[in-house]
Amino acid sequence: MRLKAYWTAFAVQAKQISRYRAAAFGGMVTQAFFGTMLVALYDTLIGDRTLFRETVTYVWIQQIFFRAFFTSDTEFNEQIIQGAVCYTLLRPVDLHLWCVIREMAGKIVNVLMRLVPMVLLLFLLPEAWRIRPPESTLGLVQFTVSLGVGFLSIAQINLIVSAVLMRTMDNKGITAMINLIMMILGGNIIPLTIVPERIQTLLRYQPFAQMLDAPIRMYLHTMSAPEWLLSLGIQLFWLAAMGCLSRGLWSRNIRRIELQGG
């Protein structure tokens, strides 16, 4: 019974997001352009061809999954500001979990809509500039599992923003700031794999690297079992930490939420 309610939330949100196909296409062309510009620059900068091919693949995976950094549930944030959130509060469900599921549904659909056309679009580029396939099937499995964990931790960050929103009612400042930090420390602005060695070791273990950077590393190099479990363990550790934080903030703020409007 309960489970069914969450499943419905997932399906409804997935359907809702899949309506925005035209917007997805416009965004995709922009993404492809920005990616191509980065690749063109790295082509000149990186002499080592293996490293260059890896960096190209890194850039494209970042561009394909880029949309997942942002919340897909703008409707809920809108509700908080306008006061309509009171209806959602009445639902006999665990609201935090409910929102995680909606967020995940939105992210998955957003990514699936862009995945195939984006990869096709990349075939317009010269061969060296295209994304390369994963090193092995095992690598692809490792990547996919890790990506799921990555999406879950992005969802936690998105929910932390919503929790702050419940108190401050100011949408733009905090959202912009968190999104930027995710893009910078998450490897979208510059691949974390080409950052100088000593800074890279630091960067690898911070929470924002667990979102897309950790999965991409598995795509590029298939890991041995212990190596993979360690990497996944770090991801799960940060997921748990951020999950606790976002749940804590939610249960505190939902009790004192101030409803707007009449």
Partner 1 sequence: MRYVVQAVRMNLRRAAQYRSSFLLQTIAQLIMTGGDLWAVLMLLERFGGMGHWGRYEILFFFGAMHLVFSFTEIADRGLGRFSSMIRTGSFDTVLVRPRGALLQVMLAEMDPRRIGSILVALTSLIVASRGLALRWTAAKILLLLWSAMGTGCLMMGLFLLEAVVCFFSVQSIEIVNVLTYGGRQVCQYPMDLYTGWIRTLFTAVVPIALCLQMPVSVILERQEMLAGMQPGWVWAFPLLGPCVFGLIALIWMAGVRHYRSTGT
Minimum Å gap between C-beta 239 and partner 1 is 24
Find the shortest distance in angstroms from Cβ 81 to partner 1: 13
Q: Are 221 and 143 in contact (CB under 8 A)?
A: no
Contact footprint for partner 1 (CB under 8 A): 22-23, 26-27, 29-30, 33-34, 36-37, 40-41, 43-46, 170, 172-174, 176-177, 180-181, 183-184, 189-190, 194-196, 199
Q: Which contiguous run of DSSP H or E holds residue 99?
A: helix 95-122
DSSP conformational letter for 183: H
Q: Are 156 and 82 in contact (CB under 8 A)?
A: no
Minimal distance in Å, beta carbon 226 to partner 1?
29
**Contact partners, residue 182, CB within 8 Å, separation at least 6:** 69, 154, 157, 188, 208, 211
CB nearer to partner 1: pick between 12 and 184? 184
Structure tokens at 123: 């075939």
Neighbours of 116 (CB within 10 A): 9
By beta-carbon proximity to partner 1, the closer residue of 74 and 136 is 74
Closer Cβ to partner 1, 119 or 181, answer by number: 181
Contacts of 195 (CB under 8 A, 6+ apart): 203
Count of residues making up the chain: 262
Q: Which helix (H) or strand (E) holds 199?
A: helix 197-204
Q: Find the shortest distance in angstroms from Cβ 6 to partner 1.
A: 33
Kindly state the smallest distance separating residue 190's Cβ from partner 1, in Å: 4
Helix axes 74-82, 137-168, angle to 10 degrees: 10
Residue 39 or 99 having the CB closest to partner 1:
39
* Least CB distance to partner 1 at residue 176 (A): 4
Q: Which is nearer to partner 1, 81 or 195 (CB)?
A: 195
Closest CB to partner 1 among residues 112, 180: 180
Residues 6+ apart with CB under 8 A from 15: none
Minimum CB separation from partner 1 for residue 127, in Å?
15
Cβ proximity to partner 1: between 71 and 222 the closer is 71
